[in-house]
Amino acid sequence: MTTKIEQLKTHLAEISDLMYIGNLLGWDQETNMPPAGVKERGEQMATIARLVQQRITSDELCRALEEAEAEVVGMDPDSDEARLVKVTRREVDKRLKVPSRYYEELSQLAVESYAAWKEAREADNFERFRPYLERMVDLRREFASYFSPYEHVYDPLLNEFEPGLKTKEVQQIFTELRPRQVALIQEITSRPQVDDSPLRQYFDPQKQWDFGVEVLTKFGYDWQRGRQDKAAHPFTTSFGLNDVRITTRILEDYVGSALFSSMHECGHALYDLGSDPALARTPLAGGSSLALHESQSRLWENLVGRSKPFWEHFYPRLQEYFPQQLGNVSLDAFYKGINKVEPSLIRVEADEATYNLHVMLRLEIEIQLMTGELQTAHLPEAWNTLMNEYLGLTPPNNAKGVLQDVHWSHGYIGYFPTYSLGNLISAQLWDTIQKEIPNLDDQIRKGEFGELLEWLHAKIHRHGSKFEAPELVQRITGQSITPQPYIRYLRQKYGEIYGF
């Protein structure tokens, strides 16, 4: 390792530490912090944001980066050193365009906004949240303005979560995807509906928790390097390569919520825990984009967790936990129940066939908010109109409508498209995985996930953020991001379940 690279890494390590401290404060806010701590927590988060911004844009770091750039000339462009310099340059150039005040204000508002959102959702009172959301939308428009001229006002926001991808590219993918998913849903709804009533009865919360822990342990989640807690909206957060935590949400009257949430978040955690230790305390540690992150969470949640081979192994164990509820329910009936396709109000509970429509709805709304076509005061009405247009449903209240997701309270405008992109990437990866591990289904039937995790580790996890999503997907699958494998997967799976 060269001296200039080491000097750069010394600066980056301190920034990394500060960011992890911010993550720890955020995790505590959503799991343990008493309600009265909101104002002080906001001030603490603002301080962290200011310190991070000051260090990323400092003269010392910029000089160290320039010297490191000179040293990596002629190196393998895929080396850790060259990629570290490239990713750091991308972040520094972005941060230099944005004043420190902005990040302070955003961080403090996010803490207060989250608390307001949580209260608003519990009380079904959009007006409780609206002033915070209005200010958040203004801040995100302000952020985009620092990157003008741009092709689309949404581009700078999307770039925060999905470097290397443009709004027009996402819209093109969705334009191709939507009619095919709608056609699939229409085909499914023309068939007799499956019965999922056995899943919708009382299930003891502690037993749900314990069964989920068994599953995550089999997946390979290391409880010495992570933990699970409860949160209003499930999430994963990282405090380093050896401390990646997940959360879940338990519903007493639906056995699938906590289980699939836990599997989803475990997928995120396995990605972060899999980074090469050499990348620790640098911008290369952790996932490279939210789409790649979502590809991992959706892969474990759906392609593994909702598959027939998975339940051939785990269903007898679940029946042991819940003999009264499931003892007389066949494996086939249970499998069909957890894969029932029916337009629903809540995104995180949506089936695979309708899920992307929830995301497309949110993308349309976010773009309208950013362009000014939609004002926050009219958001509930717009939400309900689009829910009816996309899914044929009208929410009975705002808690099950516009207030259901936590993302806007944090300012995560630009995040939602990555969920659907993750779905598409997961199917592309699955095609490649099944070619390279031809007996994968048999391994899953035995509850063996080691070879699958090792494949993901070797191909994706260990690289951290070295490669942007489009580049890594192309390297692994030989394709750019495309909806074709995902549509093929859905048609095969639901054709067998619904008989078409």
The radius of gyration computed from the CA coordinates of the chain, to the nearest angstrom, equals 22
**Secondary structure class of 398 (helix, strand, coil):** coil
Q: Is 124 left (phi over 0), alpha (psi -120 to 50) or beta?
A: left
Can you tell me the distance from the alpha carbon of 148 to that of 146, in angstroms, rounded to the nearest whole number? 6
Can you tell me the distance from the alpha carbon of 341 to that of 162, in angstroms, rounded to the nearest whole number? 29
Is there a contact between 376 and 113 (Cβ–Cβ < 8 Å)? no
Q: Which of 81, 104, 162, 265 is catalytic?
A: 265
Can you tell me the distance from the alpha carbon of 260 to that of 301, in angstroms, rounded to the nearest whole number? 6
The burial of 200, by beta-carbon neighbours within 10 Å (0-12 exposed, 13-18 middle, 19 or more buried), is given as middle
Q: Which amino acid is at 461?
A: H
Q: Which amino acid is at 281?
A: R
- Residues near 70 by Cβ (< 8 Å), separated by ≥ 6? 4
Residues written for the chain: 500
Active site residue 265: yes
The single residue listed with the structure tokens 């999307």 is 158
Can you tell me the distance from the alpha carbon of 381 to that of 130, in angstroms, rounded to the nearest whole number? 13
DSSP 237: E
Catalytic residue positions? 265
